[in-house]
């Protein structure tokens, strides 16, 4: 287990920002930490990276306790904070050299060259950070987070404020980097989770309200599978329906969306109807529930 959290809580004055959350993230997973603004994502990440202490609860990251072994945790973690705090009047190489120095990296020059290549910064590496586009500034932030060759990457809203092209590129980069690391990334964009993550943790009002594999969450309402099917010829509804399968929506006399608790019940039913009626299937397609809808359903108060 790369990240283990138990009853982690942060109270600011009167406000409970993170409310006794527990979660586990396995080695090698890319987990999306999704929630509306103010849900407690950044606060959780700051506690996991030892930037702020929890009010109560415990966590271990990369095998070390955040309270007892903060320095070891920091050596295992690469962190990209929400407002990527770069020094705009430093050159890219100069900044990475500075970060390498803080991290006590030996063989700094070759490490920096590797990071520049890995994050696609070659063309920009001799520019001032302040002159870079937001997407390239994020790459510098990622290079900084990767400096100590961390086992775990914690990325707070890594794509916020990027234009659509930069978004695609940074997502691709994170996915590539994530092949060798455990990644926890926060976002308020459901689509991003769908594209990059294996699993999603949804936080709302400081509490974890969902912990699901991305495909499971995308599946259909209340665990029902939805399948869209189009036959060549009209077909009677009564032919399609049985004790396991119901019609979710009828779009024409040959075009249906059918639903069942098990997908195999739908497939078997459609196959039987098709054969007995000599009515072939033009199209059959699994329908996913719109992820934005799932997110809204889960996080609405």
- The residue ranges that bind ligand ADP (CB under 6 A) are 12, 15, 17, 35, 37-43
Quick one: 16 or 279, whose CB is closer to ligand ADP? Answer: 16
The distance of closest approach from Cβ of residue 152 to ligand ADP in the complex, given in angstroms and rounded to an integer, is 19
**Please, are residues 193 and 171 in contact by the beta-carbon 8 Å criterion?**
no
| Shortest distance (Å) from residue 72 CB to ligand ADP | 24
Q: Which is nearer to ligand ADP, 32 or 100 (CB)?
A: 32
Which residues lie across from 95 on neighbouring strands? Answer: none
Residue-by-residue DSSP string for 214-258: HHHHHS-GGG-EEEEEEESS---HHHH--SS-EEEEE-SSSEEEE
Q: Which is nearer to ligand ADP, 42 or 274 (CB)?
A: 42
Provide the minimum distance between the beta carbon of 35 and ligand ADP in the complex, in angstroms, as a whole number. 5
Nearer to ligand ADP by Cβ, of 48 and 99: the residue is: 48
CA gap 113, 227 in Å, rounded: 50
Rounded to 5 degrees, φ, ψ at 258 are -110, 155
Least separation in angstroms between residue 252's CB and ligand ADP is 45
Concatenating the DSSP letter of every residue in 80-104 gives E-SS----TTSBHHHHHHHHHHHTT
Question: How remote is the C-alpha of 41 from its chain's centroid?
Answer: 12
Please report, for residues 123, 159, 193, the alpha-carbon distance to residue 299 in angstroms, rounded to integers and kept in the order given.
42, 21, 16
CB 201 within 8 A of CB 30: no
Placement of tokens 């092949």 in the chain = 179
Nearer to ligand ADP, 96 or 185 (CB): 185
Q: Which is nearer to ligand ADP, 45 or 170 (CB)?
A: 45
9 phi, psi to nearest 5 deg: -135, 140
CB of 254 to ligand ADP, least distance (A): 47
CB-wise, 7 or 130, nearer to ligand ADP?
7
Token pair, residue 50, equals: 């030892």
Residue 82 or 114 with smaller CB distance to ligand ADP: 82
| The pair of three-digit structure tokens given for residue 101, joined into one six-digit string | 């120095």
Task: Give min distance, CB of 41 to ligand ADP, in A.
Answer: 3
State the minimum distance, in angstroms, from the CB of residue 32 to ligand ADP.
13
Distance CA 92, CA 126 (A): 6
| Minimum separation from the CB atom of position 198 to ligand ADP (A) | 21
Six-digit token string for 16 = 């409970």
DSSP 293: H
């Amino acid at each position: 287990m790369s990240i283990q959290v138990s009853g982690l809580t942060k109270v600011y004055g009167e406000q409970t920002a993170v409310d006794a959350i527990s979660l586990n993230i396995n080695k090698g997973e890319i987990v999306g930490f999704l929630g509306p603004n103010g849900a407690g994502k950044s606060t959780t990440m700051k506690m996991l990276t030892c930037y702020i202490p929890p009010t109560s609860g415990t966590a271990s990251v990369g095998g070390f306790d955040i309270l007892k072994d903060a320095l070891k945790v920091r050596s295992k973690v690469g962190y990209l904070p929400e407002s990527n705090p770069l020094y705009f009047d430093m050159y890219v190489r100069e900044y990475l050299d500075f970060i390498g120095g803080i991290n006590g990296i030996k063989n700094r020059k070759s490490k920096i060259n590797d990071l520049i290549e890995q994050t696609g910064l070659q063309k920009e590496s001799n520019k001032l950070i302040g002159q870079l586009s937001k997407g390239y500034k994020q790459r510098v932030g990622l290079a900084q987070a990767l400096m100590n060759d961390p086992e775990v990457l914690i990325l707070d809203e890594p794509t916020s404020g990027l234009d659509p092209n930069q978004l695609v590129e940074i997502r691709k980069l994170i996915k590539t980097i994530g092949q060798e690391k455990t990644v926890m990334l926060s976002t308020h964009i459901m689509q991003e989770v769908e594209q990059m993550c294996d699993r999603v943790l949804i936080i709302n009002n400081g509490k974890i309200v969902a912990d699901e594999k991305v495909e499971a969450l995308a599946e259909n309402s209340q665990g029902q599978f939805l399948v869209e099917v189009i036959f060549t010829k009209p077909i009677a509804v009564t032919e399609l329906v049985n004790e396991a399968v119901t019609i979710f929506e009828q779009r024409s006399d040959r075009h249906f969306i059918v639903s069942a608790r098990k997908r195999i019940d739908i497939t078997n039913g459609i196959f039987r109807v098709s054969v007995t009626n000599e009515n072939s299937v033009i199209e059959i397609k699994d329908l996913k529930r719109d992820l934005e809808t799932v997110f809204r359903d889960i996080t609405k108060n």
